[in-house]
Structure 1
Amino acid sequence: MTPDDLPVVQRLEALLYPDDAWSTEMFRSELADQAGTRHYVVAVAPPESSPPAAGATEEIVGYAGLAAAGGQGDVQTIGVRSDRRGRGIGAALLTALLDEAARRDCEVVFLEVRADNEAARKLYERFGFTEISVRKRYYQPSGVDAIVMCRQSTPPRKRTTGFGPVGGADE
């Protein structure tokens, strides 16, 4: 995601999360630290017109963001345009975030999801996230609870050679 994407992302954010949409300034602040602790991506697809209009370009149909520092990642946001849901876009966005978390050596990744968003919860469970707590009335002004979920990275398996582990006293 770049600052040039923000007008479209902001419109999509307002449609998806009308009660608690992030402001353009919030997104700008997140993007300002992409080289440091943040990673934001967009999903693009060709317009769905048959046949595509002359000169039609790809359009943003989803976006996602990650905060990562100190071995911990936090999924900040994932949004997919409602008419494009159920096509694997959310899974692709989450995969991109988890790949980045691994690249940044995050041992654990957290997220909050609305308790009433069953589809998102199922997606996160498919990716190995488990519920660890509930934040009562987290989403405002609706008062919907947030389910806090966590995904631990799989520790690397120890390789063995001979009678001891690689890097052990036998080497």
Structure 2
Amino acid sequence: EGAEAGGSREEVIGPVLDVLVAFRDEVRKQARAKDAGGVLKACDALRDDQLPPLGVRLEDGDQNTIWKMDDPEVLKMEKAQREAEAQRKAELKAEAARKAAEKEAKAKVPPEELFRQQVDDAGEPLYSKFDDKGIPTHTADGQEIKKAKLKKLKKEWENQAKSYQKFMAKQS
């Protein structure tokens, strides 16, 4: 009775059976290769890629998996949202890795060299004279650095000295 309302039984269940047969073939192939990771990937592909277009949602539970019928468009939208979130997380991770690499590169610079390497937008040095620690005493145009600016530069030098010491400790 219900099959007539939604099409013949074969029309309704045929696509699901095709997916399950392909899944079984993949699991058997991975099992022969003794690849447990491949079996899990095949299970994920069944849940995430193959059944949703057919309107079937699989929900993993602690002990069992349950299935539900749902609108394929809703499932497609949810998948797109999950993929967008995964992309966002990957971008955040890449940004964190870039910042860590940048921080490590800066930590490699001895504090005595920190200000000697600094240049303006035109590539010209920012400072012309330095004390024995490498802290600038004069700007590029020969002006003596003001006390407030000198205080900031000393603080920056101290932070660089700490970073450099930590970097050198890691190296040994």
Normalising TM by the smaller chain, what interval?
A: under 0.3
Structure number with higher helix proportion? 2
- Taking structure 2 as the reference length, what is the TM-score of the superposition? 0.26
Q: Relative contact order (C-alpha < 8 Å, sep 6+): which is higher?
A: 1
Structure number with greater Rg is 2
- Taking structure 1 as the reference length, what is the TM-score of the superposition? 0.27
